[in-house]
Amino acid sequence: MGFVTYDVNKYPPKQMVAVPLIVLLLALVLLAVNWASTGMPVTPGIDFAGGTAVTIITTDTTEEITAYFSGFPLESVGEGLSGGKYIKFGPMSDDQYHDLTVMVGDRYPEAKIDQIGEAFGATLQQQALIALLFSFVGMAIVVFIAFRSFVPSVAVVLSALSDIAITAAIMDIVGIPLTLPTTAALLMLIGYSVDSDILLTTRLLKRQGKTEEKLAGAYRTGIIMTTTTIAAVVAMFLVTTIGQVEVIAQIAAVLLIGLFVDLMNTWVLNAGILKGYLMGRGRRA
């Protein structure tokens, strides 16, 4: 891992913040394009777009299931334990839904069918976006109250915003849909991002000593904390992927992406802003 041997004092502040800001800009452009095409910044899953989920226990292969339901808007066939299959369909008309239930009942009489209407999915979209917005605004208020200094507070908020935006853009690229579980993972990421940023900001603003020494000490503590968390999330991702627990695997994947993104935003973007702020304050003094 390059971040383990990364010298946090090697580059001047302007060089440190340039790359993360470029990455953030590209992520925002990608999210805007996706929003224009799908109505949401991240491709919505069945929770938000609406659709039908069918859970069955069968020995049929994915190809056989796909062929059997070829006349319907089939999105994916997930495999679970003991022959379990989780089949997702996109939005469909009432007549199509009726035909689907008949076909499912004929071949898989013990199947479980769950339907989410488009109107209900739209309501969940609004609630999820409101939850993200309130979490972010609440975090920003607490940060400004805690530090009572404009530049360090903006740096923390910008870093958290960048974590969410870049993680969401990567979700688009790798094909992780926005569902209720992955929304929860993004909310968790806000908390973790602020935690690492407050560690950095507190060490630099509240402690005595040279800026370079305080920054290096904060980095050593932060990198140990983050890599430990990454190891735990990797273990969770591997176990749930092997066990085919799709929901937990998606949460772990989003957290894993976000933690690596947070390494850049905390120890390059935020550190660069704070380093420049302290150097400028020192010159004025």
Query: pLDDT tens track of the chain, all 285 residues?
Result: 555 566 777 788 888 899 999 999 999 999 999 888 877 788 887 777 777 888 888 888 888 888 888 888 888 787 766 667 888 887 777 788 888 888 888 888 888 887 776 665 667 777 777 877 887 788 788 888 877 888 888 888 899 899 999 999 999 999 888 888 888 898 888 888 888 888 888 888 877 878 888 888 888 888 888 889 999 999 999 988 887 777 888 899 999 999 999 999 998 999 899 988 887 766 554
Q: Looking at the structure, do residues 264 and 139 belong to the same domain, yes or no?
A: yes
Question: How many CB atoms are located within 10 Å of the residue 255 CB?
Answer: 24
Residue 110, helix vs strand vs coil: coil
Q: Looking at the structure, do residues 187 and 211 belong to the same domain, yes or no?
A: yes
Q: Looking at the structure, do residues 164 and 240 belong to the same domain, yes or no?
A: yes
pTM (2 d.p.): 0.82
Residue 116, helix vs strand vs coil: strand
Closest CA to 149 of 250, 277, 242, 22: 277
The last residue of one of the domains, among 82, 100, 116, is 116
Q: What is the pLDDT of residue 118?
A: 62
Q: Looking at the structure, do residues 108 and 133 belong to the same domain, yes or no?
A: no
Is residue 24 in some structural domain?
A: yes
Q: Looking at the structure, do residues 111 and 199 belong to the same domain, yes or no?
A: no
Q: Looking at the structure, do residues 126 and 215 belong to the same domain, yes or no?
A: yes
The side-by-side arrangement of strands in the sheet containing 112-116 is 74-79, 84-89, 51-57, 112-116
Q: Looking at the structure, do residues 247 and 181 belong to the same domain, yes or no?
A: yes
Is residue 247 in some structural domain?
A: yes
Host H or E run for residue 145: helix 118-147
The last residue of one of the domains, among 116, 142, 170, is 116
The last residue of one of the domains, among 116, 143, 165, is 116
Q: What is the CATH number of the domain that holds 67?
A: 3.30.70.260
Q: Give Cα 225 distance to the centre of its chain.
A: 19
Domain encompassing residue 204? 13-44+119-283
Host H or E run for residue 161: helix 150-174
Q: What is the pLDDT of residue 166?
A: 95
Q: Looking at the structure, do residues 231 and 167 belong to the same domain, yes or no?
A: yes
Is residue 8 in some structural domain?
A: no
Is residue 277 in some structural domain?
A: yes
Q: Looking at the structure, do residues 211 and 94 belong to the same domain, yes or no?
A: no
Q: Looking at the structure, do residues 37 and 62 belong to the same domain, yes or no?
A: no
Q: Are 209 and 227 in contact (CB under 8 A)?
A: no
Looking at the structure of the chain, the number of domains it has is 2
